[in-house]
Amino acid sequence: MMKRAFHTIEFLGNLEENKGIQPIFEKSQKCLSDQELPDFLPQFLEIVHRQPIVARFTKKSFTTPKLVIFDLDSTLVQSEFMIHIGMEEDNPERRERLMQLTREALNGEGVWVNNFTERVKLLKGMEVERLKKCYQELALSEGARELVAMLKSHGVPTAIVSGAWIEYVRYIAECLQTEEHIGSVWKHTNGILTGEIEGEPIGPQAKARVMDELADKYGIIPDEIVVIADGYNDLPMMAKAGCSFMIFTTQKPSPSLVPIMVSLEVDLMTT
C-alpha cells in the first residue's frame, strides 16, 4: 500500500449539513500530531451521530488491515441493548433513569465507567432469561454479516470489544463467527442479576488496553489494526489504531456497513 503523506478523513455517504465540517476537514488534511487526536476525533464522531454517514480516519502510518475490532451497540447491532432493557423495565422511575444514563453515555457526558456501573446497578433483580430474550430480538446492522465474511475470506481476524454484557457479546460473536470477543461480566445468582459487575468494566481505557493485548497476541502493531465503532468510549482505541471507521447505526435512516466493507476490501486488494 502506498505510504500516506498525512492523516486523512473520508466521509462515506452524502453530507446533508456542511456547516462547520469544511474547516475540520481541511485541518485533517494537514500533518496532525498524535497528541492532537484525542481532541480532534470527537468532532467527527459528533458529525456521524447527526447524519447517516460513515467517517473513515486513516493515519499516515497505516499499512494494511491485519485485525479489525468492532464495537457492538450502534455498530454491529442496529440499536442499544440498554435502551431495549429499559423498555422492558416495569418500574417507571428506574426505566427513565436507565434511559437518561444511556443517552448521556451516547453523548459522551460524564465518566463512562461510573455511568455504566450505575446502569448495571439499576438492573438488580432482573431475570437473566428475560435479558437473553431481549438481545436475541435485536437486529444486526445492514452489512454486518457480509463485512465479517469478507474479512474472513482475506484471512483477517475480527474481534468484538464492548462494554456490554459478556453474554450478549458472546451471542453476537457466535452469530457472526468473530475470532475474539470481550465484554463486561454482570454478576447473577440463581438466574437473577445482582446489579454488580465482576472485575473491571470494559470502558475506554480498558478497551485500549485490550487492543494492545490483541496486537501482542496476533503479533502485529496498532498501525495494522482497524477499529469500527460508534461511541465516545471508543476514542482511545481509535486514537491508537492505524485506521478507524465511525458509524452510528441506531439513527434513522440507519447507515450501512457495506461502504466500510468496500473501503477495506480495496485496502486488502492493493497490499
pLDDT digit string, tens, across residues 206-221 = 999 999 999 999 999 9
**Average pLDDT along the chain:** 88
Give me 111's grid cell.
465518566
Residues marked as catalytic: 71, 73
Question: Is the distance from CB of 183 to CB of 135 less than 8 angstroms?
Answer: no
Whose cell is 457466535? That residue is 174
User: 3-state class of 225 per DSSP?
Assistant: strand
Residue 99 has pLDDT above 80, yes or no: yes
- Do the strands 67-70 and 54-58 form a parallel or antiparallel pair, or are they unpaired? unpaired
Question: Is the distance from CB of 3 to CB of 250 less than 8 angstroms?
Answer: no
Task: Please state the φ and ψ torsions of residue 77, each to the nearest 5 degrees.
Answer: -110, 140
Which one is predicted more confidently, 194 or 17?
A: 194
Question: Is the distance from CB of 48 to CB of 55 less than 8 angstroms?
Answer: yes
pLDDT of residue 53: 86
Q: What percent of the chain has pLDDT over 70?
A: 89
Predicted structure pTM score: 0.91
Question: Is the distance from CB of 62 to CB of 243 less than 8 angstroms?
Answer: yes
Query: Lowest-confidence range among 26-30, 92-96, 226-230, 264-268?
Result: 26-30
Q: Residue 216: how many CB atoms within 10 A of its CB?
A: 10
Give me 52's grid cell.
447517516
